[in-house]
């Protein structure tokens, strides 16, 4: 099965440049010119990172999250029944979590770069992916 993972990086770069205003020359003496310092400001706005996934109505939200290596991702179950997180690659299933088997949260750390698809071990149609970048 081929699964396509679309990674959307949102980075807005705003560059503001200020050009020095040149004063006009008056009559008579030649004006003294002082070079105005040219100032440039670069602002980079990165996408807001999240390490939180909400589990609600048999769905993971967001279904795909992107985190940096070393991040711990936490799922919070807002349904009235338990879920679990199974790493699709390793088939390792975390404990059931939710209102029946508390706590309602489950956390897993992602130390290495890669794509980590997962699913719910109780409801296999529930799928998601953690994308880990450097």
Q: Applying CB under 5 A, which of residues 53, 67, 120, 132 lies at the interface with Cu ion?
A: 120
- Nearest-CA neighbor of 76 among 47, 99, 92, 93? 99
Stretch that binds Cu ion, among 9-17, 42-50, 75-83, 92-100 (CB under 5 A): 75-83
3-state helix, strand, coil in the chain (%, to 5): 0, 45, 55
**How many angstroms separate the CA atoms of 80 and 88, rounded?**
24
| Closer residue to Cu ion, CB minimum distance, 55 or 132 | 55
Using CB under 5 A as the binding rule, whether residue 88 contacts Cu ion is answered as no
Using CB under 5 A as the binding rule, whether residue 104 contacts Cu ion is answered as no
Q: Applying CB under 5 A, which of residues 87, 104, 105, 122 lies at the interface with Cu ion?
A: 122
| Closer residue to Cu ion, CB minimum distance, 68 or 78 | 78
Between the alpha carbon of residue 129 and those of residues 28, 53, 88, 114, the distances in Å are 74, 11, 9, 10
Binding interface with Cu ion (CB under 5 A) = 83, 120, 122-123, 126
């Amino acid at each position: 099965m081929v699964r396509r993972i679309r990674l959307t990086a949102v980075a807005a770069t705003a560059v503001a440049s200020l050009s020095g205003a040149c004063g006009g020359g008056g009559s008579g003496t030649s004006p003294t010119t002082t070079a105005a310092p040219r100032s440039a400001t670069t602002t980079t706005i990165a996408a807001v990172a999240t390490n939180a996934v909400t589990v609600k109505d048999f769905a993971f939200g967001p279904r795909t999250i992107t985190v940096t290596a070393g991040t711990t991702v936490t799922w919070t179950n807002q349904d009235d029944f338990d879920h679990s997180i199974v790493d699709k690659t390793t088939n390792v299933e975390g404990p059931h979590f939710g209102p029946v088997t508390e706590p309602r949260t489950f956390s897993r750390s992602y130390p290495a770069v890669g794509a980590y698809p997962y699913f719910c071990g109780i409801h296999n149609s529930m799928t998601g992916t953690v994308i880990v970048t450097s």
